[in-house]
Amino acid sequence: MADEKICWMSALELTEAYAKGKISPVDALEAILERAKRYNPELNAIVTPTETDARATARKAERDIKAGKKVGPLSGVPITIKDLVWTKGVRTTFGSKLYENFVPDEDAVLVERLKNAGAVIIGKTNVPEFGLIAYTDNLIFGPTHNPWDKTKTSGGSSGGAAAAVAAGMGPIAHGNDGGGSIRIPASFCGVYGIKPSFGRVPDYPGLTMWETMNSDGPITRTVSDAALMLDVMSGPDERDRFSLPVTGEHYLENVGKGVAGAKVAYTPNLGYAAVDVDVENITRKAAFAFEMLECEVTEIKPDLINMENDLITSIVAKTVTTNAKRFEEWKKILYPYYSSFLALEPSLKSRDIVQIEYKREELWKKMRKIFGQYDFLLTPVTAVAAFEIGKSGPVFPSKIAGRGVGPIGWMPFTYPFNFTGQPAASIPCGFTARGLPIGLQVVGRRYDDLGVLKASRAYEKRFPWQGKKPPL
């Protein structure tokens, strides 16, 4: 089988080919490593390769498969791990000069589970410092470029993960999402990403600055691969007091059952957001295409509160507190863009932090009303397509559709569902006239991760997106 074809196979296609003896895990690994050597230097997606360990894992998978041993569901499948997550014996920087040489002595729970399932970790992927912004760049590794247009950002904070998957440097990747960090880069890079329900995948050890907001999940080229990854990663662990109990649902087994009869709501703006005209037109068309999936689709005008400032306040307060012991040291070496918003910290009061929790509850009450009538809520993932990589840091859109917006006004659709903890996914649903991918967000009821996967798979089956590849 041609190496190029191997690089575009899904995880499930690879495991099936291994079982039939058509290719081996070593063949797949070498094809993907060769592609990474060719394209990663210009994309800067994988920042800490782990080729030696990957080859050893792939050889073991090959021996076990040939010997007819029972192997894990991801045995021999190449994967990347985001550089915000503890990986034993592998440099893990969090994109920060403070941790430039940090090497953990333990694996995160999800890494343990992926390894136990036989996954072949090929490296760590690039992130913004501490994952604080949805733009992947830092002072250690520099920016990650978008495979569809290398002058554009890949988004963030899982920008390296999404760029790697989009570029054929592995079929699956780990990402995490505290305000949109799986869904935004998935949308910008034209791949699939799902933020599971809060607590679905244990988060330990974790950055406490994202506690109660972060969810770890998959970034993939197919929905079924994401279901497979969630089967492996989800489930309780006592080390994470927020981890959810077992549901008994098998995501991969049930992902293809469809969503006929579902009631679906669509909003282009959540009631307050400025949205690019192309983005609105593309996502509206995709949303009403759910009628072809035998769903009832209604455009709604929700009365939701805008928590943009609350997200910024929360991030500033938690980041400063988390790094309090080394704050003066960090100020000298932090990513320059951060100086402006960390300067807000002295003006914050305890009541500002408590007020966020009151508003979070208010948002949840309003969201409950929507999901009392509808099974899914569809929105754009972002208000714009991928934008330029700045020469000296991010230049976020200041105007959208003629309206002035704040520094995160371009990403109004993702963080509300980190505040509520609901599952939400980004589905590739079209391209702008300039060839940049656009994502449709599918939000489900609390804990209905399977429903979001089923809706995503039903759309993918009717409107497959994998045929178009970036022009590298």
Residue 188 lies in a domain: yes
Q: Does position 1 have pLDDT exceeding 60, yes or no?
A: no
Peptide bond into 205 cis (omega under 30): yes
| Long-range pairs, 419-422, Cβ under 8 A, ≥24 | 419/213, 419/307, 419/310, 419/311, 419/360, 419/363, 419/364, 420/360, 420/363, 420/364, 420/367, 420/446, 421/197, 421/198, 421/199, 421/215, 421/446, 422/197, 422/367, 422/446
For residue 425, give the nearest of 289, 226, 284, 212 by alpha carbon. 226
Q: Does position 341 have pLDDT exceeding 90, yes or no?
A: no
DSSP element (H, E) containing 20: none
Structure tokens at 24: 């081996």
Domain count, the chain: 1
Q: What is the DSSP string of 148-159?
A: TEEEEE--SSSH
Its pTM stands at 0.98
Q: What is the pLDDT of residue 174?
A: 98
Residue 301 lies in a domain: yes
Q: Does position 342 have pLDDT exceeding 90, yes or no?
A: no
Which residues fall within 8 angstroms of residue 21, CB to CB, at 6 or more apart? none
Residue 471 lies in a domain: no
Residue 266 lies in a domain: yes
Residue 239 lies in a domain: yes
Q: What is the pLDDT of residue 345?
A: 87
Question: pLDDT of 376-400, one tens digit each?
Answer: 999 999 999 999 999 889 999 999 9
Q: Does position 209 have pLDDT exceeding 90, yes or no?
A: no
Question: pLDDT of 394-448, one tens digit each?
Answer: 999 999 999 999 999 999 999 999 999 999 999 999 999 999 999 999 999 999 9
Q: Would you tell me how many other CB atoms lie within 10 Å of the CB of residue 98? A: 16
Distance CA 119, CA 76 (A): 6
Give me the domain span that covers residue 445: 3-462
Q: Does position 327 have pLDDT exceeding 70, yes or no?
A: yes
Instruction: Work out the average pLDDT over 209-219.
Output: 92
Residue 228 lies in a domain: yes
Question: pLDDT of 179-202, one tens digit each?
Answer: 999 999 999 999 999 999 999 999
Query: Active-site residue numbers?
Result: 82, 157, 181
> Cα 447–451–455 angle (5° rounding)?
145
Residue 152 lies in a domain: yes
Residue 467 lies in a domain: no
Instruction: Please give the share of the chain, as a percent, with pLDDT higher than 70.
Output: 100
> Cα 328–136–85 angle (5° rounding)?
75
CATH of the domain at 17: 3.90.1300.10
